[in-house]
Amino acid sequence: MPLLSNFINGSWQKSLEHNRVPVVNPANLETLAEVACGQETTVDVDNAVKAASAALNDWSNTPVMERVKPLYQLRSLLEEHKNALAETITLECGKTLSESLGEMTRAIENVEMACATPALIQSEFSEDIASGIDEFMIRQPLGVAACISPFNFPGMIPFWFFPYALACGNTYIIKPSEKVPMTMNKLFSLIEQLDLPKGVINLVHGSKESTNALLTHPEVKAISFVGSSEVAKYVYATAAAHGKRVQAQGGAKNPIVVLPDADMEMTTKIVVDSVYGCAGQRCLAASTIITVGGASKGFREAIADSAASRVTGFGLDQGVEMGPVITPESKQRIENLIQQGINEGAKPLIDGRSPRVAGYEKGNFIAPTILENIPRGSELNTTEIFGPVMNLMHIKSVDEAINFINSGRYGNMACLFTSSGSSARKFRKEVKAGNIGINIGVAAPMAQFPFSGWKDSFYGDLHGQGRHAIEFFTQTKVVVERWPKDWSRKF
Ligand code: NAD
């Protein structure tokens, strides 16, 4: 079985391989490759940091217009190889091919946005703050930066960070999830073709050991993390304690509120897509659906019919609308949570545990599930399930719905479906979440916007993408200069 290589200092390098972990297709549990994990990977990290440090001086002194040129090349290569990248995502991550293609589209948009860095990095200049004195601010790179990414968007998430980091003059290291490492190897087979000096961008594999090596390495100046809140909180604290700039995106428990005046046909379709897209393994997936007042009438039946008709299977097969969850452990955890909800008094409107998917009997499949009326105090109302499970609840008023949402620990996204402008305005103003949808499910924001998140969904200050990324990957220097008119006569 092939062991995935690292890409360090411009070439493919074999990892020390004491602890090989299989990379598994979640639809049939076949091993696709192997990846190195364990203590030895800290040596790989050290080698990658050395390469990135050595490349830093020349790269940070390269004019920004030159630094974005490889990004234009990357954009063309990504368009050309988008299908192959998407197929790899589906194979190792399980989502459908169209979901994987959508992921790559978002990745490309971030490359396009980062190509605007020459304009975005420009700063303020004040002439004559006093007679003959000017003051201005410049943005300079931080140094070596790194990202640590989760399993659910292996192709997109590193793109929230690295194109901007490189364009701003930093050098970079990507550490993908050990569950889905193949997509980045495929991407680096394209990066290898760019006119980039060696060491400017590097790939290292591994799990918590390589993460820790990055968080504590004195030469790494910035960390971008995306994953579960427990690890995000740890990453934030550890990297900050080691003097690094950190942004750490965490988990979620996202609500959608449906008012009686909503367009129910449109709402049903969008809610089902939002809950079951990527088998619920999206940090912006809706998890709790709250109907207010009379909105439940007819809606619960429509939503159950629509969810039950969703075709579950292997993401590369035609007609499949939902893939498996990532691991057998994940499937077991989600099925246990469903049972816990039922034991606590929730009613299973549809129960998708252990569906039979012909030809993929070993796969980690769970079909769409709806639990109605999980008791308010239940752990299921606060735990991130990260699977195709909808918690359907009924509440009397918008105020009660907003209070319920704001009492939760997460704040990634919240949506409202209504035809009332004043209800929509109240909702977007009062709900404590970083992404709001009105009559639309929330997908990852376009690249010109920051990927926001509140409460336990985000630790840090500046987010990924767009202007926030430019700010995150640069440090400001304010210069004040005096050039009296008559000085030139002295020289
Ligand atoms: P995870 O936290 O298990 O892993 C994320 C990364 O951290 C991986 O690269 C992994 O190798 C590393 N890691 C895991 N445990 C570690 C530890 N103890 N110490 C150091 N490093 C460790 O997350 P996951 O299961 O891969 O991804 C799913 C989670 O990511 C969900 O909670 C989801 O909501 C979240 N997520 C959030 C966003 C967002 O934008 N807020 C986006 C995507 C996913």
What is the pLDDT, as a whole number, of residue 488? 66
Domain carrying residue 401:
254-438
* Closest residue to atom 19 of ligand 1, CA basis: 208
Residue 446 maps to a domain: no
Residue 452 maps to a domain: no
Q: What is the CATH number of the domain that holds 217?
A: 3.40.605.10
Ligand 1 pocket residue status of 442, Cβ below 6 Å: no
Residue 411 maps to a domain: yes
Q: Enter the tokens of residue 160.
A: 């929230």
Residue 278 maps to a domain: yes
pLDDT at residue 374 is higher than 80:
yes
What is the pLDDT, as a whole number, of residue 491? 58
Other Cβ atoms less than 10 A from the Cβ of 339: the count is 13
- Residues 78, 217: one domain? yes
- Residues 172, 53: one domain? yes
Number of domains in the chain: 2
Average pLDDT of the segment spanning 61-71: 98
pLDDT at residue 463 is higher than 80:
yes
> Ligand 1 atom closest to Cα of 230?
2
- Residues 261, 376: one domain? yes
How far, in Å, from the CA of 250 to the mean position of ligand 1?
Answer: 7
The one-letter code for the residue type at 233 is K
Ligand 1 pocket residue status of 231, Cβ below 6 Å: yes
Integer Cα distance of 187 and 278 in angstroms: 21
Average pLDDT of the segment spanning 399-414: 97
Integer Cα distance of 14 and 5 in angstroms: 5
Residue 157 maps to a domain: yes
* φ/ψ (deg, to 5) at 464: -80, 165
Integer Cα distance of 282 and 229 in angstroms: 14
Q: Which amino acids are annotated catalytic?
A: 283
pLDDT in tens, 411-428: 999 999 999 999 999 999
Ligand 1 pocket residue status of 457, Cβ below 6 Å: yes
What is the pLDDT, as a whole number, of residue 354? 87
Residue 104 maps to a domain: yes
Please give the share of the chain, as a percent, with pLDDT higher than 90: 95
* φ/ψ (deg, to 5) at 98: -65, -35
Q: pLDDT band at 486, cuts 50/70/90?
A: confident
Query: Which residue is associated with the tokens 């994990």?
Result: 37
Q: Enter the tokens of residue 244.
A: 């690094």
What is the pLDDT, as a whole number, of residue 16? 78
> Ligand 1 atom closest to Cα of 457?
41
Q: pLDDT band at 356, cuts 50/70/90?
A: very high
Residue 189 maps to a domain: yes
> Ligand 1 atom closest to Cα of 228?
32
Ligand 1 pocket residue status of 453, Cβ below 6 Å: yes
pLDDT in tens, 121-164: 998 999 999 999 999 999 999 999 999 999 999 999 999 999 99
Ligand 1 pocket residue status of 150, Cβ below 6 Å: yes
Q: pLDDT band at 429, cuts 50/70/90?
A: very high
* 131: CB partners within 8 A, 6+ apart: none
- Residues 139, 21: one domain? yes
How far, in Å, from the CA of 152 to the mean position of ligand 1?
Answer: 9
- Residues 330, 239: one domain? no
- Mean pLDDT, the chain, as a whole number? 96
Q: Enter the tokens of residue 428.
A: 């977007």
What is the pLDDT, as a whole number, of residue 489? 63
Ligand 1 pocket residue status of 412, Cβ below 6 Å: yes
- Produce one character per residue of 376-413: b if its CB has 16 or more CB atoms within 10 Å, e if not: eebebbeebbbbbbbbbbbbeebeebbebbeebebbbb
- Residues 287, 424: one domain? yes
Integer Cα distance of 312 and 326 in angstroms: 14
Q: Could you give the count of Cα atoms lying within 13 Å of 161 in the half-sphere of its Cβ?
A: 30
How far, in Å, from the CA of 162 to the mean position of ligand 1?
Answer: 18
- Residues 156, 225: one domain? yes
Q: What is the CATH number of the domain that holds 293?
A: 3.40.309.10
- DSSP conformational letter for 14: P
How far, in Å, from the CA of 411 to the mean position of ligand 1?
Answer: 17
Q: Enter the tokens of residue 261.
A: 């005046």
Residue 447 maps to a domain: no
- H/E segment holding residue 307: helix 299-308
> Ligand 1 atom closest to Cα of 148?
9
- Residues 154, 278: one domain? no
Average pLDDT of the segment spanning 370-392: 94
- Residues 295, 389: one domain? yes
- Residues 198, 89: one domain? yes
- Residues 337, 243: one domain? no
- Residues 242, 324: one domain? no
How far, in Å, from the CA of 412 to the mean position of ligand 1?
Answer: 15
pLDDT in tens, 9-25: 999 999 876 789 999 99
CA-closest candidate to residue 279, choices 355, 336, 349, 215:
355
